[in-house]
Structure 1
Amino acid sequence: MLQAALFLSWVHLKRYWRILGELGIFRAGFLIAISTAGIVATSKPGFLTFQSVLLVFSLAGIHNQRNDRVLLSNLGLNKPLFFQLMYGLFLAPFAVFYMASVKYIPLLILLSGIFITSYQNKQIRLKFSRKSIIGFSFLPAIAWEWKSGLRRTWWMIAGIIILSLIFRNQMIVLIVSMVLISLMVAEYQMYHEQRLMIQALQKSPSGFLLRKTGLQLTFYTLTCLPLILTAVILFPDSYRVIVLVLVSSLLVQICAVLFKYSAYVQGEKTPFFMSLLVLLNLSFIFPPISPLPLIIIVIFYNKAIIRLKTVNYADNT
C-alpha cells in the first residue's frame, strides 16, 4: 500500500509539473511566487491554525473532485488507508513544521482532516429541488451563471466566509477571502449560454453588457458584504486597503463578463481566461500593473460589442 501511495504521488507530482510547464514561464513563475508568498504569510505565529484549516478545506475539495476512483477500485486502492498515506506524504512538510514549532492544535486539525477526508470514498453531489430556496431559483433567469455556479460552489463560499469570520482579527484573512470569492464567482462567466438566451432579451449589445456586468457586480458585492462590513468595523484605519481590494475585485468581475462575450461561442467553456483573471485580481499588490484591469476593460469592451452584434444579427455564425 505504501509503495502504491509513493508511486501515485510521484505520478501526480509529474502531472502538476507538466501543467506548470504548459502555463508558460511567466505565468508559472507568477503562480509559484504567489503560492510561496501565501504559505510564508500563513506560516507566521497566529496564522498556523488558519493555515491548517485552509489546508484541510483544500484537501477535502480536491478529494471530492477526484476522477480516478474507478482506476483505484480496479487496483484495490480505493481505501481510506491509501488516501491517508498519499495525503500524509503531500502534507508531511506542514506536519513536521507544526511539530518543530510546538504548535499542536494546527497539527491536530491537519491530521484529523486527513483522517476524516480519507473515509469519503464517494463523490459528494448535492441535489436540490427546483422549488427549494437553496436551489437559488429566486435569482433572475438572466443570471443563470450564478444559479449554476452557486449550486456547485455555495458550500465552498459559505466555508470561506465562516472561516473568515472565525479568524476575523486577522485582516489578511478577510482580504484573501474577498479575493478567493472574487475568482470563484468570476469563474461562473467561463461558461457560454446558447445564442437564443442572448437574443431573447432583445437588448442592444451595450445594454446587454450593462445588464450582465451590473448583475455580476451586485451579486459579488452582496456575497462579500459580511466580509466587507467586518473589515471596515474592525480595521477602520485600513479602509483604503479594503477599498483597493474591493475595487480590484469588482474590475475583475467586469473583465470576466467582457472576456466571455468577446470570445463567445454558444455552449463552449473558456477556462483559459482564469489565469489572466488571477493576475488582474492581484494587480493591486504590484503598483506598476495596477492600471492593467482598466486597460483590459477598454480593449475587450469593443471586442465584446462586436461579437454580440454578430450574435444578434448574423444567425449563420
Structure 2
Amino acid sequence: MKKLLITSTCALLAAGLIFTSCKQEKKDSSISSEAPKQLVLRYAENQSRDYPTTQAAYKFAELVEQKTKGRIHIDIYYGAQLGTEKTVIEYIQLGTIDFTRVSLSPLSEFDKSLNILQLPYLYKDSKQMWRVLESDIGEKFLKGVERAGIIGLSWFDSGVRNFYNGKRPITKFDDLKGLKIGVQESRLMMEMVRNLNANPVPMAFDEVYTGLRSGIIDGAENSWPAYDTASHYEIAKYCVIDEHARVPEMQMISKITWNKLSPEDQKIIKECALESAKFERTLWTEKENAAKAKIQKTGTVITELAPGEREKFKEAMSPLYAEFGAGYEDVIESIQRK
C-alpha cells in the first residue's frame, strides 16, 4: 500500500512537472513569435566589388535595410560567386536566388520581346534611351518579364558599344568588310556583324583578349570601360565611335520572393531599386568618361563615321528589325519618336 502511494505520488509530481513545463514552453514560444524576425535575401552580381553595378547592389541593400528598419537584410555575392548570368536567371525563376542584375542579352532568351531594346542603331543618343526606359514603354518591358517568373525593378546603364580592331581605321561602311569580329554568343549580335559584311565569331568576353592576340579575331565591340579594363586597346588600337548599341541592364527580383513580401515591403523594394539605379548611372558615367580619357592618351586611333555613313549602317540592319521586331513595329516606332 505504501509502495503504491509513493508510486502514485511520483506519477502526479511528474505529471505536474510536465504540465508546468508545457505551460512554460507555450509561454516562451509566445514570446519568441512576437519578436521581430529578420528576412535575409541573396543578391547575385557577376562583376567585381568595385564595379558600378556591384556598388549599386550594395547601395540597394543599404537602402532596403534602412527603410525596413533592419527587417530585411540583403547579402551581396559579387564576382559570379553564384554562377553566370544565365544560370542566375534560372535560379531567380526557382526562387533560390532573390535578386540580380543582368544584361538584356542573356535575359532575352527568357523573354524574346527584350530583343527590341537591343536593336542596333535604335537610339540617337543616351538621352533618348533614358526617355524611353523611364516612360511607360520601359515600365511595360519591366512588367513583361513576369511571364518568366521575374519581377523587373529598374534599369541600369551599361554604356554605348563601339567597334574596335587591330587592322585599320573605320570611317565608312565598307571598312568593316571581311574583318573577323568577336561578339557575344547572341544571334542578334552575330546577325548585326554579318549584315555589316564582317565575319562574326561568337566568344565569351574573357576569351576576346587571347583571340585578338592570336589572330583568331581582328576586332570586337564593347563599351569604353570594357575596352579599357580588358586591355583590348593594346592590340586593337583602331576604335570607331559608331555607337551601334546601347544595351540597358535590368535589376530584378524573383517572383517567388516578391509574392512572399507584404505590399508595404514590395513598395519599399521598388523605391530602393529605382534609387539605386540612379546611383549606378552616375557611377557608370564617371567610369565611362575616365576610360575614354585614358584610352585617348594611349595612342589609340579613334575615328568617327564620315557624313552619311551612319545611315548606311542603320539601313543594313533592316533584316534584323524585320525579324526581331516582328509584331512590335508600333513599339519600335514609339521608341524612335521619343
Could you tell me the TM-score, scaled by structure 2's length?
Answer: 0.23
The structure that is strand-richer by fraction is 2
The structure that is helix-richer by fraction is 1
